[in-house]
Structure 1
Amino acid sequence: MFTPEWRLLAHEVGLASYSLRSGLASLRKANYADQQVYYGGFFQYTIGLERVMKLALIIDYLVENGTLPTDRQFAKKFGHKLTDLLSGVGDVRSRLDVSASVWELPDSAMTNAAMAVLSDFAIGARYYNIDVLTGKAATQDPVDRWFSEVGQPLMKKRKRPWKDVQWAHKLDAEVGSKSNINFETENGSPIHSFAAAAQAANESEYVAKEGTFLCARIARHAISVLIARSDQVPRNFQIPNFIEFFYLFVMDDAYLKRQKSFAG
């Protein structure tokens, strides 16, 4: 028979896995013409990442003390501040054997940039649109910030040339004066031509692919710490086999980068 604690842990880790996969799938599809997909992706991903990291801290406490924490504030002390939670996961990592099977974080510059945006989103920027509509002092749109602080550095690392948009320039010359194109890029720049739309599509696709891969690797690190620490839980305490919920996230970079739906 499963214990009440096993059920609670299983439900929580299942929700974390579902949220992460849903969020990553949305971020992979995000583009300048459907910016609501960014918001949905950030929302689901940050929920999943926060829950994974808090689970890692709870399991770490169990290993250290032989019991689950009884302080009701234990899992709440970090709130939604993902940057602090990631530091907490780093502390858990330091208590694992050096030979433990743990996937490391991406390079610190990109990890820090992504986590700063995501942490602020989880804390309050998820209400950006409502806040601005109701008179709160404007901050930076989280989509704009993601594209500026994460997307632009990723694009600077790009080695391959962009897809040719000469066809779009020709289309502008032929029918541009008769068309009505009215979009914005992720950072709010207007798009009124086929050429601008084609280039924005190129950039959106690249940032979607590389940004999602970056987020998947951050999640993989936290998940691998959770799984490794769970292997040290006393055998008299029944916990789920966490890896069963995260098979997708224990794969190598090439596999993660190919994912679009993040099913499984």
Structure 2
Amino acid sequence: MMVFSATWFLLEQEGLLAQACLCNGLTALRRANLGDKKGLFYSAFFELSIGFERTLKLVLILDHMARNQLTPPDSKTVEDYGHKLRALFDSTKAICTTRGVTALDAFQSDSLPIAILGFLDDFAHPGGRYSNINKLTGHKHQSMADPIVQWGEIANRIMGGHVTPRERKRAELNGQMANVAFGNAAASLISDLNQQLMGVASLHVRASELDTAAKHAVYALVTLIAALREVIDSLCDSAWKASPAGRSGMPDVPDMKEFFQFAWADRQYVMRKRMWP
């Protein structure tokens, strides 16, 4: 019977945690929209920020183990990063540079995946994830932009520079069809992500825009997760080779890429998919 070390089980559990958070976050983001679905944006931001944080910290841990005969780093090495996704990603890129891993080379600072990761970094800050409560209670952390408003701006960026003309036209047609169907016979009490009330036609346009933007945002994040899977796979290979001579034979490092196999960046597949994994 195969016996695994305590370290193996802890890494397995952390991989499962990261997987669950990322999948739940992608699903929530794909389903989020206006009205009573607006709360799903917050669910997506919480889950995705935690999922990327834990994934990036796994990179740091595996790199340290590979360089130190499978000894994990001390708690301070990981804790000092807090929830700072930008700093964690920069350290991950530095590890890739040192090891000659090219999986993250395509993710420049102005790319959509990194823009979204930066947004999640802001959300992970107490001024982001507690934005509503901070404003209600007069807390000192009030300087950051409302996360929902920020997401609306990201959606605008996607609609302006990442969608096809056909997708843009479809959103406009949804508004025109609503206008023809309802005319002056209906009114909307639903607000946009910036709390501005909309007419029936503009509501249908905006709901379609947010749905379209979510597809592109999810694809952008899946490409990033898939690249991080390659990084983790390389680090696991290095860690397996670093096992010191004379060790008992109990495995210390699972095949961590298995936890991220859901992230296959086939564009057509991802754009159609609504639930993850």
TM-score for the superposition, normalised by structure 1: 0.89
Structure 1 moving runs of 4+ over 6 Å: none
Choose the corresponding residue for 1:167, options 177, 184, 189. 177
Choose the corresponding residue for 1:15, options 1, 17, 30. 17
Distance 2:106 2:269 in 1: 16
One-letter amino acid of the counterpart of residue 55, structure 1: L
**Percent identical across equivalent pairs?**
27
- Change over 3 Å in CA distance of 1:246–1:217 after alignment to 2: same
Choose the corresponding residue for 1:31, options 16, 30, 33. 33
CA contact (8 A) 1:78 1:85 kept: yes
- Change over 3 Å in CA distance of 1:105–1:68 after alignment to 2: farther
Counterpart check, 1:155 vs 2:165: no
One-letter amino acid of the counterpart of residue 157, structure 2: P
How far off is 1:250 after superposition?
Answer: 4.2
How far off is 1:170 after superposition?
Answer: 2.2
CA contact (8 A) 1:53 1:89 kept: yes
Partner of 2:124: 122
Alignment RMSD? 2.0
Partner of 2:247: none
Distance 2:180 2:269 in 1: 38
Choose the corresponding residue for 2:47, options 19, 24, 44. 44
Partner of 2:275: 261
Partner of 2:200: 194
Q: Please show how residues 237-252 of structure 1 align to structure 2 within 5 Å.
A: 238-252=252-266
How far off is 1:223 after superposition?
Answer: 2.6
One-letter amino acid of the counterpart of residue 46, structure 2: F
Partner of 2:92: 89
Gaps of 5+ in 1: none
CA contact (8 A) 1:13 1:52 kept: yes
Distance 1:251 1:215 in 2: 9
Structure 1 residues 28-70: Cα deviation after superposition (integer angstroms, max 9, x where no partner)? 1111222110000010111111001000011001111213234
Choose the corresponding residue for 1:181, options 177, 188, 195. 188
Distance 1:197 1:254 in 2: 27
How far off is 1:104 after superposition?
Answer: 5.2
Counterpart check, 1:59 vs 2:58: no
- Change over 3 Å in CA distance of 1:200–1:71 after alignment to 2: same
Structure 1 residues 239-263: Cα deviation after superposition (integer angstroms, max 9, x where no partner)? 1111221211244444333321012
Choose the corresponding residue for 2:229, options 208, 212, 223. 223
TM-score for the superposition, normalised by structure 2: 0.85
- Which deviates further from its counterpart, 235-244 or 21-30? 235-244
Structure 1 residues 181-234: Cα deviation after superposition (integer angstroms, max 9, x where no partner)? 20111222212x220111111111111111122222222222321122111113
- Which deviates further from its counterpart, 252-261 or 18-27? 252-261
Q: Secondary structure at the match of 2:239?
A: coil
How far off is 1:71 after superposition?
Answer: 2.2
Distance 2:5 2:177 in 1: 63
CA contact (8 A) 2:222 2:263 kept: yes
How far off is 1:111 after superposition?
Answer: 3.4
